[in-house]
């Protein structure tokens, strides 16, 4: 394998590139004063809208933000989503055009080993930490299903006090995620920028994330392989979900789902546990049809449910 060498000039160039990335992305960072003692960080995601980590918002009233130019202004909470640890604040339109919005990078292109910067603004100035994406991990199943987060970035980066809600920045100076210690027992994680945008738009539009609801209670049940094969259609599940309760006015009841039905498929995918159903609902959206492949009385039955909306406050 050929040897490579790094010259002092290469290190100087890298150092300058990183400093430029901090300078560029840092202009979109703000301090958020919504809890005692240490402020948290936020990102001006678009004109007049700031995204941050929901767990850092302790006060519903009197929230203020300090901008890159040192001004401290009032902010209002537009929406919060604890399931994904995201919140959106809005500021007066008079300030919206005076503050830069970030250059967003392609978070889907981020891979394990990529060099990244974590930026925070817990005080007047931006602070930065250098590291790598240590892994790209699947979001916790219930977070994935309830919050439409399919993955998170685990970071090998020192995330200091006040960094939650700050920016994950690639070597090009583009923001590719929002950092948070709200997942994984305080471990440094980042929510990909694409997911931040999707959830922020819902919070700005309606103050919350709309989530699907079937109106059934289910639990896993083991299915004999021979029984599954006898149903045809290539179904070879070893487990399914038996329906143990149906809400009388729920969408599943309206579609004809019965207690004792065994759910084997959701859409075209087999299900192993309730988390698979939650993920399918997150990908389908409220008001859209979702087909359930059931076993009823030993026969295969397909039922199409018009996905309802999870009542506010329901976990």
Query: 245-294, pLDDT tens digit by residue?
Result: 999 989 999 999 999 999 988 988 888 888 888 878 877 778 889 999 99
Can you give the pLDDT at residue 146?
A: 44
Residue 36's contacts (CB-CB under 8 Å, 6 or more residues apart) are 58
Q: In Å, how far are 61, 69, 126, 250, 279 from 214, measured between CA atoms?
A: 35, 48, 45, 6, 13
Domain regions of the chain by residue span: 8-204, 212-309
Percentage of the residues of the chain whose pLDDT score is greater than 70: 86
- CB neighbourhood size of 111 (10 A): 10
Average confidence (pLDDT) over 138-157:
68
Can you give the pLDDT at residue 203?
A: 94
So what CATH class is 212-309? Answer: mainly beta
More confident residue, 299 or 197: 197
Percentage of the residues of the chain whose pLDDT score is greater than 90: 54
The answer to whether the CB of 71 falls within 8 A of the CB of 99 is no
Can you give the pLDDT at residue 222?
A: 86
More confident residue, 285 or 28: 28
Can you give the pLDDT at residue 284?
A: 79
Average confidence (pLDDT) over 4-16:
79
Can you give the pLDDT at residue 287?
A: 86
Can you give the pLDDT at residue 144?
A: 42
Average confidence (pLDDT) over 91-117:
83
DSSP 104: B
> What b/e string do you get for 152-180 counting C-beta neighbours within 10 Å, with b at 16 or more?
bbbbebebbebbbbbbbbbeebbbbbbbb
More confident residue, 72 or 5: 72
**Torsion angle defined by CA atoms of residues 154, 163, 196 and 271, in that order, rounded to the nearest 10 degrees:** 40
Average confidence (pLDDT) over 155-168:
92
Q: Compute the distance between CA of residue 70 and CA of residue 292 in angstroms, rounded to an integer.
A: 55
2.40.10.120, 3.40.50.300, 2.60.120.620, 3.90.1150.10: which CATH number matches 8-204?
2.40.10.120
Query: 179-189, pLDDT tens digit by residue?
Result: 999 886 767 99
Q: For residue 66, is pLDDT > 80?
A: yes
Residue 74 — pLDDT band, cuts 50, 70, 90? very high
Can you give the pLDDT at residue 6?
A: 64
Provide the whole-model pTM: 0.78
DSSP 25: H
Q: Which of 42, 87, 4, 54 is nearest to 182 (CA)?
A: 54
Task: Indicate the average pLDDT of the chain.
Answer: 86
Residue 143 — pLDDT band, cuts 50, 70, 90? very low
């Amino acid at each position: 394998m050929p040897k490579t060498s790094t010259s002092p000039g290469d290190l100087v160039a890298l150092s300058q590139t990183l400093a430029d990335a901090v300078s560029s992305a840092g202009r979109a960072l703000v301090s958020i004063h919504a809890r005692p003692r240490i402020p948290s960080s936020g990102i001006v995601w678009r004109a007049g809208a700031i995204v941050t980590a929901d767990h850092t918002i302790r006060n519903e009233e009197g929230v203020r933000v300090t901008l890159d130019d040192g001004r401290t202004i009032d902010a209002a909470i537009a929406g919060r989503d604890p399931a994904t640890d995201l919140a959106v604040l809005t500021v007066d339109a008079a300030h919206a055009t005076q503050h830069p919005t970030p250059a967003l990078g392609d978070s889907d292109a981020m891979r394990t080993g990529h060099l990244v910067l974590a930026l925070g603004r817990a005080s007047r100035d931006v602070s930065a930490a250098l590291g790598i994406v240590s892994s790209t991990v699947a979001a916790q199943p219930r977070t994935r299903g309830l919050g439409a987060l399919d993955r998170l970035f685990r970071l090998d980066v020192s995330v200091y006090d006040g960094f939650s809600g700050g920016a994950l920045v690639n070597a090009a100076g583009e923001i590719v995620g929002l950092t948070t210690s709200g997942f994984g027992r305080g471990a440094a994680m980042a929510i990909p920028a694409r997911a931040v945008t999707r959830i922020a738009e819902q919070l700005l539009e309606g103050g919350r994330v709309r989530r699907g609801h079937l109106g059934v209670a289910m639990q896993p049940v083991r299915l004999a392989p021979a029984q599954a094969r006898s149903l045809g259609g290539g179904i070879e599940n070893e487990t399914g979900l038996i329906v143990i309760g149906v809400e009388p006015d729920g969408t599943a009841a309206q579609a004809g789902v019965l207690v004792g039905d065994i759910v084997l498929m959701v859409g075209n995918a087999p299900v192993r546990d309730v988390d698979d159903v939650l993920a399918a609902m997150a990908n389908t959206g409220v008001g859209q049809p979702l087909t359930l492949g059931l076993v009823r009385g030993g026969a295969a039955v397909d039922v199409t449910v018009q996905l309802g909306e999870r009542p506010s406050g329901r976990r």
